[in-house]
A and B are shown apart, each in its own frame.
Chain A
Amino acid sequence: MEFTKKDILDMESLSVDEIALILNTAKRMKEVSERPVKKVPTLRGKTVVLFFYEPSTRTRISFDIAAKRLSADSLSISGSSSSMVKGETLTDTVRNLEAMSPDVIVLRHSSAGAPHMLARLVKPSIINAGDGMHAHPTQSLLDLMTVMENKGSINGLRIAIIGDISHSRVARSNIVGFTKMGAKVVLAGPLTMIPKGIEALGASVADNADDAVCGADVIMMLRIQKERQKSNLFPTEREYSKVYGLTKKRVKRAGSDVLIMHPGPVNRGVEIAPEVADGPYSIILDQVTNGVAIRMAILYLITSVSDSRRHAEC
């Protein structure tokens, strides 16, 4: 199968075959990171711009390492260091970047749909590294890869996602991604954080965290942001932790070979107990490792599309 997408915007626009291709490619890419010399010349001469309008450490570094391991030239700009602080619009900033002929622009932005808007306007491939509450496709892909490595297949698994579903792009992309690959996704969280109509994405909502965890093959905990307390989405961290936090006791309700995941950054002692985050079921750091492989795979696949397109235009 040949990859034909110009952009990676969300999990909805990727087919099952495309997801499988990305996961398979990532498996090969992972091997590069395990070599003593962690670099291949595949993307020599390609330019990857990491445009992070919203702060990010893990995702930005992961993309940066992925680009460098493939020998692409990568550079980082942030919202505060770009011309946007001088009042330039996102479109103008990206058009200016475009004028310098990058091959890929990796965008993290606080507005849902910002990468979609740019994908329509500019020639370089756009990779969505998180847009508002909407989507975080590379996170979902690395989560799929990590579960696949441990379980062999996604099909038929029960995935519990617990926490602030409303504000989570990771939750949205994973509901779509895991459902697409045949898993059953069950959600739990304070009802203030379960958005209306989430079932339409294919997930079901459990009555409480215990029910969601019951029989789960995978438990994915979401970061609870302290600011949400101010908008009265939950009264205190203490109560949140008690009712929705993942404790050792709660883990026992799940399958005996359950996997514990978290997209990070972790609030130890709030959504997840330290002994669970560090415990035998945790694959939180495997997620980070696989993040590099997934991003290498995507950069590789997407630039090969640009090449064939360029050939077509000659």
Chain B
Amino acid sequence: MLTLIRGGRVVDPGNLDGMMDILIEDGRIVEIKDRESEGRGQRAEDRGQRTEGRGSGVKVIDAFGKIVTPGLIDMHVHLREPGHEYKETIKTGCMAAASGGFTAVCSMPNTNPVNDNSQVTEYILKKAGAADMIRVYPVAAISKGLKGKDLCEYADLKEAGAIAVSDDGHPVADSRLMRRALEYAKGFNLPVISHCEDIDLAECGVMNEGAVATRMGLAGIPNAVESIAVMRDIALCELTGARLHIAHVSTTESVRAIRNAKKRGAPVTAETAPHYFTLTEDTVDKYNTNAKMNPPLRSRQDRDAIIEGLADGTIDVIATDHAPHSSIEKEIEFDLAANGITGLETSVSLSLKLVENGLITITSLIEKMSTNPARILGIDNSLKLGNPADITIIDPDISFTVDANSFRSLSRNTPFDGWSMKGKAVLVMVNGQVIFER
């Protein structure tokens, strides 16, 4: 079976950029041809002849005017299974990811039971295999039960399929444990993903500290809650030489600390989420629980610093921190509502807005949504001959209105419902199989 992706602009940062055709056979990329170096209009015929010669049909995917990229990877997703299947299952999460343009996601370990042993990792992979859609890379816990006390068995977890470790949602408060985690994980080449938060300083805060929180009578979370932890983890990263990835960066001070650490050559990488470069604390107005997340939406100045960090490469990755919750957790009093919003089905469009506004290039966007996550996780995801055909096709011009009720995700907790957006993924292919097409 042959598939031809024809006429799109292929953007694979550091590898390809141009109008190219990609031929896929048995799930793998077998040919990439530059359309500009050859006569136009003959490509399809060539393929046709070649296909006839082989005696099977060719599926032609028209990608004129579209962007063809290596499959997008969201390295920060809460799939909620096992344990919270009413919010999301591995299957619905995979469907949401596919419809958002992703060919792979990392699933965070704060399930019930916690993914802190190989059996849970295997369970997740079994379910993902049964869903048979996108790739799921389980992130295992740093510490047993996410309790910040005892290390998990990283060798065993890696053998079972874990791709990184993180106590996401629960910061590792104990600096000595964090040091040991970084050192021990380094031995297995597992990146440590850190949720940076000084929980004592955060106290009972529910939104960004500042005039908006004060006016609304809500307890605030100052920026230092995050940057203190970022700076500590950078110090431990430099102490151990282990790879550190900082999750969901939201503040000016964190961006500055990461930028300086990178200048010194520390092996640190960082991600942010679309809501941190799109929204500010003002969205919390009227006690909107779909604007409640941790870290919280920050000030305008912080949002601008995040965009600057994305533009200058300080922030390597755009990940969604997709955190589905049901109405039970969200349609309640603001201070009691759960943190987090869904992100898989709005991420590409929100990120394309940065390109449209001239803040980053499309190449940089693909780097942050595919190339860099792949590099950090140690996956070869690029469009090379012989590689599995994990491909996303983006139509940058398609306009639409977000309708949370049409989400594939089981949950609807998004602050972007009703937003007008431009640009989205129109086709997603994993192993050469089209798993989503608009």
- Chain A interface residues toward B at CB < 8 A: 12, 89-91, 109, 111-114, 116-117, 131-135, 169, 172, 195-201, 231
Contact = CB atoms under 8 A, between A and B. Distances in A.
A200 B215 contact: yes
Given A116-B286, A200-B211, A201-B215, A195 B335 contact: no
Contacts of B215: 12, 172, 197, 200-201
A112 B209 contact: no
Nearest to B206: A112
B216 A196 contact: no
B216 A113 contact: yes
Interface string B286-313: 1100000000000000000000000000
Given A196-B211, A197-B210, A135 B217 contact: yes
B333 A90 contact: yes
A112 B331 contact: no
A197 B214 contact: yes
A84 to B, nearest CB: 11
Contacts of B155: none
Contacts of A131: 217
B199 to A, nearest CB: 14
Contact of B287 (A91, A112, A133, A169): A112
A196 B287 contact: no
Main secondary structure of the interface of B (DSSP, over half): loop
Contacts of A111: 333-336
A98 B165 CA distance: 49
27 contacts: A90-B332, A91-B332, A111-B333, A111-B336, A112-B218, A112-B334, A112-B335, A113-B286, A113-B333, A113-B334, A117-B287, A117-B332, A117-B333, A117-B334, A131-B217, A132-B217, A135-B217, A172-B215, A195-B213, A196-B211, A196-B220, A196-B222, A197-B215, A200-B215, A201-B211, A201-B214, A231-B203
Nearest to B333: A111
A195 B205 CA distance: 13
Nearest to B336: A111
Interface in B249-269: none
A89 B333 CA distance: 9
Contacts of A199: 211
Contacts of A201: 211, 214-215
Contacts of B212: 197
B217 A169 contact: yes
A53 to B, nearest CB: 10
A111 to B, nearest CB: 4
B219 to A, nearest CB: 7
B331 A91 contact: yes
Contacts of A109: 333
Contacts of B287: 112-113, 116-117
B280 to A, nearest CB: 14
Contacts of B214: 172, 195-198, 200-201
